[in-house]
Amino acid sequence: MPSIDVDRHPHRQEGRNAVVRFIHTSDWQLGMTRHYLDSDAQPRFTGDRVETVRRIMSLAVERGCAFVVVAGDVFEHPNLGAKDIGRALEAMGSQDVPLFLLPGNHDPLGTGSIWNSPTLRDRLPGNVTVLDRAGTWPVSPGLEILAAPWTSKRPDTDPVTGVLDGAEADGTVRVLVGHGMLEELEPDAASPVTVHRAPLDAALADGRIHYAALGDRHIRWPLSEDSSIRYSGAHESTSFREPGQGHVLDVEIPDDGGKPLVTAVPVGQWQHVVLRHRVDGSQDIQALAERLDQLRPKERTVVKTALAGSLTVTERAALDDVLETRAPLFAALLEWDRHTDLVVQPDSQELGDLDVSGYVREAVDQLLALSGSTPSGPPDSSGTAEGASPVADADLPDETALREAAHDVEDDLPRLHEPSTEEAAQDALRLLVRFTGGAR
């Protein structure tokens, strides 16, 4: 067990003599992968989650914290390789600050547990303690951690409040460390692993515990300043349900019996952003481009767009260009299909003026008919794919490729009554506009 210095408090508020100050964090899920990250972004995402652990350890030193506690889900799963485990342990041991790790639902105790890994056991830094049994863990005279580790992947009861049974209000300062979803946050009211709030409130009221450090919820909660039951949230953003960057909680438990003083400190580098935007013309498209350009840092930002509006084919092609030219700059730039409602209304004039002829012109006319518009541009002078063009051959797209694309659309003609036909026609027209560079 690492020794604890409870007197390191350079940030103590005047008039509040803290008994102990520590960092509450959770849900590191080291080794996590995301299906939408490519081979460039995924290693950065994985590595940054470890580097943020290193940052947390440094923060604990800077803020004079006596220890750091991780309230569950330290690792993503039990099958991490030696390299991932080794790098994580190096970050944990980067500062001489006691670090307490609680097994959670992603990394429970039991058969096949990552906590039994030879790599982890052999290389565990001296400042790290795994809270691998339920109950009290002495930290220093008058200070205990009351731990509630997950002993299996699927417990059949409240995974937290059972450890309160043996605690007494004997003047000892206790920090409960647990992992699970409080009943007011749990969407499944019948879940057997719901954490019941009443026992926690009672234990806080009678002095058996002084703070409940919880994990499982990836966003810090609550945002009010007077709660002694808290979720720190994940140290790095992991999904679009977790807006903003990750935080840790700097907790001071005072000796006057008052509520802990809790300060949220941002540490994360990554963010998941849902970008909702109305696009009804070129000005809206430009505004969207500016919003994307303002996001920083792009290489650590995952964007999901939810766009709605009505565009011409040319405008939709311009929108595609905005998204495609910026996509490589972001960790990922995704379209949220279920919340995208874009209607393409072909402008017969713009398509009638396209510099195409022969088979391609016939395809344009057919696509216009399919998409609900009618061509009004000048008819093709030659009527054949080999007809003369008013522009130089070097400026023309590969008409063989365009003809094949048109034939692909014609293959869909027997399915005119399918819901996707109009959209497919609009998509094909949009591609034609982009291939040809637009109208004359």
CA dist 181 and 184 (Å) reads 8
Domain co-membership, 98 together with 84: yes
For residue 8, tell me if it sits in a domain.
Answer: no
Domain co-membership, 241 together with 356: no
Please write the tens of the pLDDT for every residue from 47-102: 999 999 999 999 999 999 999 999 999 999 999 999 999 999 999 999 999 999 99
For residue 305, tell me if it sits in a domain.
Answer: yes
For residue 11, tell me if it sits in a domain.
Answer: no
Q: Give residue 360's pLDDT band: very low, low, confident or very high (50, 70, 90).
A: low
For residue 362, tell me if it sits in a domain.
Answer: yes
Categorise residue 417: left if φ over 0, alpha if ψ from -120 to 50, beta otherwise: alpha
Domain co-membership, 319 together with 354: no
CA dist 377 and 41 (Å) reads 46
Domain co-membership, 162 together with 209: yes
Domain co-membership, 102 together with 215: yes
pTM over 0.85: no
Q: Give residue 191's pLDDT band: very low, low, confident or very high (50, 70, 90).
A: confident
For residue 388, tell me if it sits in a domain.
Answer: yes
More confident residue, 59 or 9: 59
Q: Give residue 416's pLDDT band: very low, low, confident or very high (50, 70, 90).
A: very low
* CB-based contact 71:148 (threshold 8 Å): no
Domain co-membership, 245 together with 310: no
Q: What is the CATH number of the domain that holds 33?
A: 3.60.21.10
Give the chain's domain count.
3
Supply the range of the domain harboring residue 331.
Answer: 271-344
Last residue of some domain: 319, 344, 369? 344
Domain co-membership, 254 together with 202: yes
For residue 206, tell me if it sits in a domain.
Answer: yes
For residue 13, tell me if it sits in a domain.
Answer: no
Domain co-membership, 199 together with 95: yes
Domain co-membership, 260 together with 279: no
pLDDT at residue 358 in the model: 66
Q: Give residue 439's pLDDT band: very low, low, confident or very high (50, 70, 90).
A: very low
For residue 12, tell me if it sits in a domain.
Answer: no
Question: Average pLDDT for residues 252-276, to the nearest whole number?
Answer: 91
Domain co-membership, 300 together with 381: no
pLDDT beyond 90 at 433: no
Domain co-membership, 212 together with 193: yes
Last residue of some domain: 204, 232, 266? 266
Last residue of some domain: 287, 311, 344? 344
Domain co-membership, 231 together with 365: no
